[in-house]
Structure 1
Amino acid sequence: MGIFDLFRQIESGSGSGLQGKLTWLVVGLGNIGLEYENTRHNAGFMAVEQLAQTCGGDFRQIKFRSDCGEAMVGGVRCLLMKPTTYMNNSGEAVAAAANFYKISPEHVLVMYDDISLAPGKLRIRRKGSAGGHNGIKSIIALLGTEEFPRIRVGVGAKPTPQYDLADWVLSKFTPEEQTALQPALEQAAEAASLIVQDKMDQAMNRFSH
């Protein structure tokens, strides 16, 4: 038995108090640091934090270049992840965890911001292109496929076409937008629970706008 096989055996053992084999990664995308808190680009972080709150998980572990922790989501053992690589290199963290646990891309659920949706709206897809999102570009490049499920959280469009995109996604939500966003984060957590139970159609029908 190699050293990584031993680590996998320890990680998937009963010492965590969680049942079953770890079979899903649930990843929220964002940027670490106080200056990025409550910014549009951190909607993925906010969604996976809401999921952790809902299912009693936490992010006390630091591994795979992420803040992470295991949790039972809808009765399924998952690793919840917030990559600390910064957005543009998110794939480095995701691929490391997927390779370690031998999890297929179809079981890597990614939650992230979408400027084409208003705050409070969600869009759920089984797979798809990056659509110009650098975090998703990185994950596609390092997983080698576009075929992983995702929950896109609306953060609102740029106020004018001339507005710089980077400035917009790194801007903070207004209080009104935060009010609209909170129910969407709760719905994203519910949708994630359905998706890891292989109820993608149900998640899409209930929560995708």
Structure 2
Amino acid sequence: VAEAARFYKVQPSEVIVFHDEIDLAPGRFRMKTGGGAAGQNGVRSLISQLGADFRRARMGVGHPGEPQLVHAHVLSDFHKADRTWLEPMLNAVADALPFALAGDDDRYQAEVMRLAPAPKFSPRQAAQNAARGE
């Protein structure tokens, strides 16, 4: 990413990185500029190469409930049940992209969530599902 940004003379503030975020409930979407890596290794790598001032499209995947389950959670495939929120969110992220390209991150975030509202999320239910391996 950093090499491409330098080659095309793109400033970090013009780069948008889309990534999963366990600190957001499944289906939630947030835009953010700058900040730390929050344990996200890909973001940490980008910060080391670009600096921290790039834009982040944070797509919530939820927390598995137990710290020892995080690694497997973020590296595994989505479950079939996740398709009910995942596909609409990915479509909304693409459909609303003109707002992000125009630099209006607040409007982009709002439009994504309007097009694909996040499902109601119960942390207790998620923990029970994780314990059952669902």
Distance 1:101 1:203, change over 3 A: same
Could you tell me which of 48, 57, 64 is aligned with 1:141? 48
Q: Identify unmatched segments of 5+ residues in structure 1.
A: 1-93
Tell me which residue corresponds to 1:185: 90
* Aligned residue type for 1:205: A
Distance 2:6 2:106 in 1: 27
Identify unmatched segments of 5+ residues in structure 2: 119-134
SS at match of 1:183: helix
- Structure 1 residue aligned with 2:22: 115
Q: 2:62 aligns to what? A: 156
Shift of the alpha carbon at 1:131?
1.0
Give the distance between the partners of 1:196 and 1:162, measured in 2 at CA: 38
Moved over 6 A (4+): none
Distance 1:192 1:141 in 2: 26
Identity among equivalent positions (%) equals 39
Matches within 5 A, 1:1-209: 94-143=1-50, 145-163=51-69, 165-207=70-112
Task: Say whether the 8 Å CA contact 2:25–2:60 is kept in structure 1.
Answer: yes
TM-score (norm 2): 0.76
Once the two structures are superposed, residues 73-118 of structure 1 have per-residue CA deviations (whole angstroms, 9 ceiling, x without a partner) of: xxxxxxxxxxxxxxxxxxxxx0010010010001111001111122
TM-score in terms of structure 1 length: 0.50
Amino acid at match of 1:148: F
Alpha carbon RMSD of aligned pairs, Å? 1.8
In structure 2, relative to structure 1, the CA distance for the partners of 1:168 and 1:201 (3 Å cut) is closer
Question: Taking CA–CA contacts closer than 8 Å with sequence separation of 6 or more, which of the two structures ends up with the larger relative contact order?
Answer: 2
Q: For residues 119 and 181 of structure 1, what CA distance do their matches in structure 2 show?
A: 8
CA distance in 2, matches of 1:161, 1:177: 21
Alpha-carbon separation, structure 1, partners of 2:48 and 2:97: 23
SS at match of 1:123: strand
Instruction: Please identify which structure carries the higher helix content.
Output: 2
More strand by share: 1
Distance 1:207 1:121 in 2: 9
Q: What displacement does 1:170 show?
A: 1.1
Number of corresponding residues: 114
